[in-house]
Structures are given as structure tokens and as C-alpha cells.
Amino acid sequence: MHYDQGSLPLLKRYGGEFVISNMSNDTAMSDIVASGPAPDEAEKMVKRMSAGNSLVDPTTGQPLPKDDKVLKIATFSLQKYLKASIQQEFANEFLERGGLQSLCDIIKTTTGNTLAYALNSLDALMEHETGWDSLDEEFVRNIISIDVSQTLVTVCRPATAILIKLVNADKQSGSTISCYGYEFLHRAAKGEAEFLPTLVQRLQSPDYLLCLNSLELITTMTKHVTDELRGDLSEQLQTLNAKKYVLRLMNDHPSAELSEYLLEFQSAFIKNANKRRKTMVSLHKPRHARLLSEIWEAAALENVEVSGARRWKKIGFSTEICQREFGRNGVFALENMNRFAMKDTEAFRKILLEQVHRPQDKRCPFARASIEVTDLLCDYWNIAAGGVDLNEFQPLVLSFDSVHHTTLDLFFRMFRDMEAATSDFSKVSALVRSQIKYALKNENAKTLFEFDKIMIETPYQVIRDRRLKELEWADDLLGREAIRNLRQRLYKESYEFVKQQRIECLIKGAWFPLNSLTRSNTISGGNSAPNLTLSQMAELSPTSPASNAASPALMNPSVLIGGSSGTAMTAATAGTPINTGYRWRYYKLSPSKKQVHYGDFSERAVAHFNNYEKLTEKIDISNISDIQVTSKSSSILPSSTQNISSHSAGQASLTPNPETTQQSFVLLSNGKPLVTEFKCHSASLFSEWTDGFSLLLDKGITSKDTAEYIHSLTEIGVKVKLLQIAGDRVEVPHGGLEIPPVYAGLSEGFWYESNNQAT
């Protein structure tokens, strides 16, 4: 009796045996599967699968001969029963009766649909977390062979699904069965050289589920690979261009389900890369030694003499112990360096020969530059934290080695175009970092071709100008702890610089206008008691109308205001002698900073006094306890009293009121009496002398101008440091600083303080 494969017969139970039913209604079949057989039926199912109990023909009642149809029907039914979540009891009974061994025997000996049903049954059985921990390497090798050799997608899909479950069942899975994993699969697959190539090739399969299963198995292997085998698996996938096929899937408008699988692969790739970063390079590991050996052979520098270099320093390492210089980028940096050297050996040799023939202080070390580029790209994509955005496709991340190659070419171009020296290495790195950020954030740089175009065609001057603008607006950079510490240090330096500058202004001296009221109230020689208190001085201030009326001399607008610079301005009739109601006083701090010398003069004969011969009066700094601003903008002469002096020729000139923009302050002694008063003609003179006296007395800054001046100096200093065009070089860490291991013999008396400084 033969049956069409598209409409398999249904089973009914008669007298303890399954018989073929003529019923072909799908609903009836689903009802049977939904209700499922009782647990005791598992024993009969196992017997029929292993011993060959025959099915009964319902029309004749005669047993059918045992053939592939028998097993086909049995396995077809079994997969349905095992997939039903309510059939845990049936699954347990099936396993206890030796059903797993019978199922494995069928998988080993059958083909076609029977094999497909058997594989699906095993896949369904493995959904239960017990009973299938006895599968040996030989059987798994058979599954791998089936997956590689079979062409039917109905066979390959369940075979791949079984292998996924085996890889997931490692010690880190936390499940009941944890005796398998990647290493188990790797041992079983040693005899199947086409296993991984077949999986990669199926990423382009027209069968959607087969493509999905193959991608999931590759992703699962990448996630669960052991440290010892991680490098080999990554190298094989790289050789097979697995990422190229994944990129095609990403660019082909994948479905939501496929997109989820692609994001899983991307995440696994990034995490795998980070684990390789954390793996230190060791010459005792055959693969690491081979990668370094390939780089050295590709360099072909054996017969090139380089002063002070035997081998690795010729390639651009700082020392001959090259494995120590890969730092926090480990094997991942070594792999990228190796791929650069092997991808275009002639270009690699040309770069090395160009550098070794340059003066030692003008070389761009290749090895150091390659490691630096790997570090820059890892920082940008945040590889250490698992990637910048796990919810979006990052196709260029999957092309890391190609991006590294293009960026390293840019590094050497920047080094050449800016005519840099070896000591300028960090400056070049800053420019390359800026260009990486610009290129990878560019809306047009979605493919490797577009990225290469931006990196290659952007001139040096454009990159440099952009870097300057970034420094102006880099709020995130300026907020880093390292920059905050730098700013604090530079602020202290700026503060001390401005303090010294302000005190130097006092030592240089300046002119100030003086009236009789101020002159009579100054403590002379540091011993005389003051005549007026500050309140009494305010009552008699020239700004008071009563004072103005009592002092006719103050009504004369022909008054000059002195300062640190400038010449006298008068309003007088030609041939008429100058008659002012003010005299001038010159103040000058002594070099010892203990006394203020001054002298009164009828006119400003010189701009500055270089000595103290004519400054016969003194004020002891020890008598000064405080400084107080009395007026920031005063007008001694009201506008109604301003006069015009007529010349004999009939011409007239209006003398500007010099005190309309005056700012004044006073020095006070211990009991708050007035020591002397200073009237300043400009804001700069006011800030110089008020802050000069205040800093001299260790009272800090009092004026806004000086505070802004110090802030500006600090910010300029920070930007100069960051730009590294002038001043000392500053390395700005991107992320937390990694504390190096404590070497043997230093475990005692060696620790790290909270400011990341070794003690």
C-alpha cells in the first residue's frame, strides 16, 4: 500500500495497536495530536520503532510489511506528540522506555522524509530539559554529516536546530543539561571540513528558515566559543567572508524576525571582539606567534639596517618586547595589524621603508599607529560596553578590519601633511579621532565605499579646522574628570599670574586726582591719625551739593583726571595760565611691598616715576586693614555748573567733566577710619588697583573684570593644551582609567589613591 507524501495516513488505535485510517481530515488529525496518547502508549511507540511491530490494514486486518512507511508514520506522529507542551509525561515515558536510542538508530539509517521526521522528533524532544544528555560525539558527528551532505531543506533545518541546542547546552547555560557546548561540537566536527563553509554559504539560501537557522547557529557558536578556540573561529569566519553575507542580509530589507537574528549576530560579534581585546598577546600561544611571524615576514626588513633596532623596533614598536605594547587592545589589535600587512603586502613594505629611512625623530611608527587606530575605533563604537547602539544595524562595525585599514592610511597621511615629528604622535591621533567621528556620523557614510571616500578625500586643512571648532564646543570633553583637574591647575596658575600682574601695577605706580579734602585726610608717614572717618568723609564729599556750594573751586570745570597713562587736557584761553582746583598725587608701592610711597604735584610732569626720590610720603601697608569701594560711577560737577571758556578769538571749547566716569575706593585702617581715597578714571585702572591692594592683603579678588580675566586665561590655557599646538602635551583619557596589575614584589606598600595617582 502506497501513500502520497503530501497526505500521510492517520493513526487510530485498535486493540492496542495503531492502524491506518482512511480519515484525511486535518481537523481530526489535529484533535488526535492535541489530546495526545496516554503515557503507556510511549512503550508501544518505542517497540514499533525498534522491534518493527507492524501496522494493520483496516480493510483486510492483515499486518503491513515493515518498511520505510512504518517508520515514516511513527516518526511523523512522534514529532507531533513531542512538540505538544502538555506531553511531558509522554516524553518522560518515551525516554524511560529507550525511545531516544531508537530515535537515534532511525536517524543513522534512514533518509528522506523519514529522516526529516526523526530529526524533528529529536529536536522536539530536546525542548525538554531532561533525558538527552547521553548523546555521544559519534552521533553528533553523524548529525553534522547529515547537515553538510543533505540537500533537502526539510532535513537540514532540524539538523541545524539540534546543533544549536547542543552548543547552547554548556556549563554557562544554567540548564539541567550542560555537558555539551562549543568545544564538544568542535571535536565532533573535526572530520567535517565543509561544516562551517556550508553554514556560511546557506546565509544566501532562498529557503528562509534554513537561512535563519544557519545564522542562528553561527551566532550561537560565536557566543559560546571558548577562549582557546575564539581566535580560530574568528579567523575562519573572516576567511569565509561570513560578515559579507550578513551585510547583504542587512541591506536587503530584512523582515522583523530576520532583523532580530541579525542584531543578535552583530551583538555577538562586538562582544567577541571585546573578549579578544582583553586577551593579552603571548608568544607562547601558537596563533599569536604565527600572526606576529607573518607580519615580520611581510615586512621584509631582515636585511635593512636600522640604528638601535634589531627586529620589532624596525616595524614601529617602542621596544623589542613587542607583545607588551598591545596594551588594552590585546589580540584584537594584533589581528587588525596582521590583516593590514597581509591584505596589501607591497603597500605595507613601502610604508615601513619610508619610515625607517627618515630621521629617528621624524618617524611615524607603524606598529604604534596601528594599535592607536584600533583603540580609536574601539572607543568610538564603545566596544568595551558592547557597542554604541544594539538596536540598530552597524554595518561598518562588521567591517572593522577594512575600516581600520582606511583609518591607518589616513593616520600616515595626516602625519605627512602636518610635517609632524614622532613627538607629535598624539596631535595626529587627535586629528584622526576627529575625522573618524565626522565620517562615521555622516549620513552618507552608510557603506564602506562611502566611508573610504570621506576619509580619503578630506584635506588636512579641513580636518584641522574642524578640530579647532570641536575644541570650542566640546562640552562633553571639557566635562571629563581629567579636564576638570587640568582646569583647576591652570586656574591656580592664572590666579597667581594675575596676582603678580596686579601687584606689579602698584609697584609701577599711577597718577590720581587729588582735592584738598582728600589731601588733608591722608595718613602721612604711617603715624598720623586720620582727620575724618569714612562717614564724615561722605558728608563732605564733593558729590554733596552742600560741599559744592562751600567750595567754589570745585565749580571750575577745567579739571584733569590722571591715571596710569594719558596726557593732561585743559580748557583755557590762549595765553591764559591754567588754574585748576585739583592737584595730582602719584602712588607707588615699594619693592618690599611694605609701604606705599606717594607725592603731591601741581601737574603731571612725567608718565611714571622710576624711583622714589620725589615720593617723600609713605603709608605703611600694616596700617591698612580693608579696602572698600565708595563709588563705581560718580559725577562731581552737575551739568548745570559746566562752563564754557571763551577764547579771545571768539572760539570756545567745552572741557569734558573728568569725574563723570570716576570709580573710587578707599583704604581703611583697623578701626575703619579712612587712610586715603583713590579716584580712577577708567575701569581697568580701578580693577588693577582695587585687586592689587586686595591681593596684597590676601583678601582675594574684588572686581568682576579681574575674575573674567582669570577665567579667560584659564579657558585659553585648557584649549591650547587640548589642541597640543602650543604648550605641554595632554593625553585625555576616553573612559575610565585601567589600573595596571601590581607586579611581583610590589604587593606591599603600593596602592592607588582616589585621584588615580600611584603612591
Position of cell 582606511? 406
Residue 216 has pLDDT above 90, yes or no: yes
Q: What is the pLDDT of residue 652?
A: 35
Of 473, 454, 370, nearest in space to 412 by CA: 370
Q: What is the pLDDT of residues 323-332, one digit of tens each?
A: 999 988 999 9
Is 754 a member of any domain?
Answer: no
Domain range for residue 526? 509-570+581-636+657-702
Of the listed ranges 143-147, 163-167, 384-388, 447-451, the least confidently predicted one is 384-388
Are residue 154 and residue 25 in the same domain, yes or no? no
CA distances from 224 to 158, 200, 230 (A): 20, 18, 9
Q: Which residue has the higher pLDDT, 473 or 595?
A: 595
Residue 617: alpha-carbon gap to chain centroid: 64
For the purposes of burial, counting CB atoms within 10 Å of the CB of 275, is it exposed (0-12), middle (13-18) or buried (19 or more)? middle
Are residue 169 and residue 107 in the same domain, yes or no? no
Q: What is the pLDDT of residue 656?
A: 38
Of the listed ranges 353-357, 373-377, 563-567, the least confidently predicted one is 563-567
Q: Which residue has the higher pLDDT, 108 or 535?
A: 108
The amino acid sitting at 19 is V
Residue 511 has pLDDT above 50, yes or no: yes
Dihedral sign (CA 114, 92, 101, 128): positive
Residue 26 has pLDDT above 90, yes or no: no
Position of cell 571758556? 645
DSSP assignments along 482-496, one per residue: HHHHHHHHHHHHHHH
Position of cell 610720603? 617
CATH number at residue 186: 1.25.10.10
Q: What is the pLDDT of residues 592-635, one digit of tens each?
A: 888 899 888 888 878 888 888 888 888 888 888 888 888 755 43
Is 671 a member of any domain?
Answer: yes
Q: Which three cell numbers stand for residue 505?
A: 601695577
Q: What is the dihedral of CA 233, 239, 244, 249, to 10 degrees?
A: -50
Position of cell 486486518? 61
Are residue 666 and residue 586 in the same domain, yes or no? yes
CATH number at residue 92: 1.25.10
CA–CA separation, 8 vs 603, rounded Å? 124
Return the percentage of the chain with pLDDT > 70, whole number: 71
CATH number at residue 563: 2.30.29.30
Are residue 613 and residue 685 in the same domain, yes or no? yes
Report how many domains make up the chain.
4
Residue range 504-513: average pLDDT?
A: 88
Q: What is the pLDDT of residue 723?
A: 67
Q: What is the pLDDT of residue 258?
A: 94
Is 115 a member of any domain?
Answer: yes
Q: Which residue has the higher pLDDT, 51 or 565?
A: 51
Are residue 537 and residue 413 in the same domain, yes or no? no
Three-class DSSP category at 447: coil
Q: What is the pLDDT of residue 485?
A: 82
Is 719 a member of any domain?
Answer: no
pLDDT band at 742 (very low <50, low <70, confident <90, very high): low
CA–CA separation, 415 vs 227, rounded Å? 37
Residue 513 has pLDDT above 50, yes or no: yes
Are residue 325 and residue 405 in the same domain, yes or no? yes
Q: What is the pLDDT of residues 686-739, one digit of tens each?
A: 888 888 888 888 888 877 888 888 888 988 888 777 765 333 444 455 555 555
Are residue 112 and residue 91 in the same domain, yes or no? yes
Is 153 a member of any domain?
Answer: yes
Q: What is the mean pLDDT of the chain?
A: 77
pLDDT band at 271 (very low <50, low <70, confident <90, very high): very high
Is 480 a member of any domain?
Answer: no
Q: Which residue has the higher pLDDT, 524 or 153?
A: 153
Of the listed ranges 192-201, 233-242, 473-482, 661-670, the least confidently predicted one is 473-482
Is 174 a member of any domain?
Answer: yes
Q: What is the pLDDT of residue 223?
A: 93
Residue 581 has pLDDT above 70, yes or no: no
Of the listed ranges 34-38, 446-450, 633-637, the least confidently predicted one is 633-637
**For residue 709, how many other CB atoms are within 10 A of its CB?**
19
pLDDT band at 214 (very low <50, low <70, confident <90, very high): very high
DSSP H or E segment with residue 418: none
Backbone phi and psi for residue 674, each to the nearest 5 degrees, phi listed first: -75, 130
Distance separating the N- and C-terminal Cα atoms of the chain: 89
According to DSSP, residue 650 is labeled: S
Are residue 443 and residue 348 in the same domain, yes or no? yes
pLDDT band at 527 (very low <50, low <70, confident <90, very high): very low
Q: Contact 274/387 with Cβ under 8 angstroms? A: no
Return the percentage of the chain with pLDDT > 90, whole number: 37
Q: What is the pLDDT of residue 62?
A: 55
> Last residue of some domain: 665, 682, 702?
702
Q: Contact 588/615 with Cβ under 8 angstroms? A: yes
Q: What is the pLDDT of residue 724?
A: 55
Are residue 326 and residue 374 in the same domain, yes or no? yes
For the purposes of burial, counting CB atoms within 10 Å of the CB of 354, is it exposed (0-12), middle (13-18) or buried (19 or more)? middle
Q: Contact 471/719 with Cβ under 8 angstroms? A: yes
The amino acid sitting at 299 is A
Residue range 474-503: average pLDDT?
A: 80
Q: Contact 560/513 with Cβ under 8 angstroms? A: yes
DSSP E strands in 481-573: the ranges are: 510-514
DSSP H or E segment with residue 141: helix 137-149
Are residue 330 and residue 250 in the same domain, yes or no? no
The amino acid sitting at 372 is E
Q: Which three cell numbers stand for residue 685?
A: 585702572
Q: What's the angle, vertex CA 9, arms to CA 6 and CA 10, rounded to 5?
A: 125
CA distances from 243 to 168, 234, 262, 329, 710 (A): 22, 11, 11, 21, 55
Residue range 105-119: average pLDDT?
A: 90
Q: Contact 32/87 with Cβ under 8 angstroms? A: no
Residue 544 has pLDDT above 60, yes or no: no
Residue 484: alpha-carbon gap to chain centroid: 17
Q: What is the pLDDT of residue 21?
A: 42
Are residue 469 and residue 381 in the same domain, yes or no? yes
Q: What is the pLDDT of residues 155-179, one digit of tens each?
A: 999 999 999 999 999 888 777 888 8
Q: Count Cα neighbours of 308 within 13 Å in the Cβ-side half-sphere.
A: 7
Are residue 608 and residue 521 in the same domain, yes or no? yes
CA–CA separation, 238 vs 538, rounded Å? 87
> Last residue of some domain: 473, 497, 528?
473
> Last residue of some domain: 454, 473, 492?
473
Stated pTM of the model: 0.60
Contacts of 480 (CB under 8 A, 6+ apart): 732, 733
Is 278 a member of any domain?
Answer: no
Residue range 220-238: average pLDDT?
A: 93
